[in-house]
Amino acid sequence: MDELAVGRRVAQARDVADITQDGLARAVGLDRTAIKHLESGERKLDVTELAAIAQVLGRHLSFFAQPPAPAVVSRRADAGLQHSTSRSLDIELDQFAGDVRTLFEVGEISPVARTGRHAPEDEVRAEQMAKGIRSSLGMDLGSEYEAVRDLGQACQRLGLYTYSASLGEAGPDGASVEVSGEYLDVGAAVVNGDVPSGRRRVTLAHQLGHWVCGDPYGSSTSPETENLIHAFALHFLAPRAGLHIIWGDHDDWSDRDRVLAASATYGLSWSATLQQLKNVGIIDFDRLQELREFDPPLGDYLRLGFSRTDELASPYLSPGFVSACVNGYANQKLTQGRALELLRGTLSARDLPQKHAKSLDDIRASFTGHDG
């Protein structure tokens, strides 16, 4: 990247960190004019200065060396002035997409074939798409209509890798972006790990809907399409037949307790469960409004024998992403520092495996293209 691109990255990270040019200059031992000239592309940085800036701004050094993901650039151009939390999401998605690209380029993440699906045109097609995706994951082969227990791994099987970032309880829910390829792709999704688990699950399922439809972050999706992708997410997480089974199996319970059973079984928030029960015709709008007034505490789930999991809590990373980082280190494709940077504090240096000895073929390959 040239000086102007690096300067823009510094300005973006500084803005998200809510640090002034003066504050950054003082923190890294430079004068304010140096930061000003840097951000305008008029000054080069040496590695030591860039490392100090990265540390102060809480960003990986690689963030300042990688070009931004195209879809994130598009979103920035379309959105104009954004709320600071949206900019935080942009920068986390940008950085995670770059990290997924790194693992793809070193051969530790494999692409998947595109599904060829398009955004659903109505709710019937949204439900059909959800059924198709569940079937492709080997679900609903019998009559159990089981819950998606590890949503991050399910998304990974379809080529979408996930990072749960700390974006604040009032922050944005999440976004996803394509990382590579015209016919073979991998994708990156960032969800807000600070909101409740049920909301995180719906957000990631929603991003999965965008991913399988080839509808990346930054595209001009209509409100109607967004609603249909949301319908897909609910049908994917809580299928119609499964909800009817739960409702029928607990016909001696109050409606409130049956909603609790559905919410616990499928890992949805209270409001999302009510919406899906209405979608599949189990409750009507008036009953939804009555039940919406109730905000169940954890104890209500526990008294019925249910537990609530804290899935996708920050700093969750897809298991395949973690595996790729660890194998990249063991296979000597990533340095220890870079591997730990990618792992975002989920592992320490002592957790890393021993490096594999390089074979003669590996050594020969490392000299390919060199003289002598």
Residue 152 identity (one-letter amino acid): G
Give me the residue label for tokens 């015209």: 182
The reported pLDDT for the residue numbered 286 is 97
Cα 319 from chain centroid (whole Å): 13
Up-side HSE of residue 108: CA atoms within 13 Å toward CB? 25
The reported pLDDT for the residue numbered 30 is 87
Given CATH 1.20.1250.20, say whether it is the number of domain 1-65. no
CA distance 97 to 102: 9
| Cβ density class 190-221: b for 16+ within 10 Å, e for less | bbbbbbebbbbbbbbbbbbbbbbbbbbbbeeb
Q: Would you give per-residue pLDDT tens digits along the chain (372 residues)?
A: 678 888 888 887 888 788 888 889 889 888 888 888 888 888 888 888 888 888 898 887 878 877 776 555 444 444 443 555 588 899 999 999 999 999 999 999 998 887 778 889 999 999 999 999 999 999 987 667 899 989 999 999 999 999 999 999 999 999 999 887 555 689 999 999 999 999 999 999 999 999 998 875 655 678 899 999 999 999 999 999 999 999 999 999 999 999 999 999 999 999 999 999 999 999 999 999 999 999 899 999 999 999 988 999 999 999 999 999 999 999 999 999 999 999 999 999 999 999 988 766 665 655 554 554
CA distance 213 to 231: 14
Q: What share of the chain is helix, strand, coil (3-state, %, to 5)?
A: 55, 5, 40
Radius of gyration of the chain (CA): 23
The packing angle between helices 270-279 and 223-237, to 10°, is: 100
Residue 322, judged by CB atoms within 10 A of its CB (0-12, 13-18, 19+), counts as middle
The reported pLDDT for the residue numbered 85 is 57
- What are 188's strand-pairing partners? 161, 177
Strand (E) or helix (H) holding 90: helix 84-105
First to last CA, the chain: 30
Up-side HSE of residue 135: CA atoms within 13 Å toward CB? 6
What single string gives the DSSP state of each residue in 237-285?
A: HS-HHHHHHHHHHTTTS-HHHHHHHHHHHHT--HHHHHHHHHHTTSS-H
CA distance 237 to 137: 13
- Sheet strands (E) in 179-220: 184-185, 187-192
Residues in the chain: 372
Q: Where in the chain is the domain with CATH 1.10.260.40?
A: 1-65
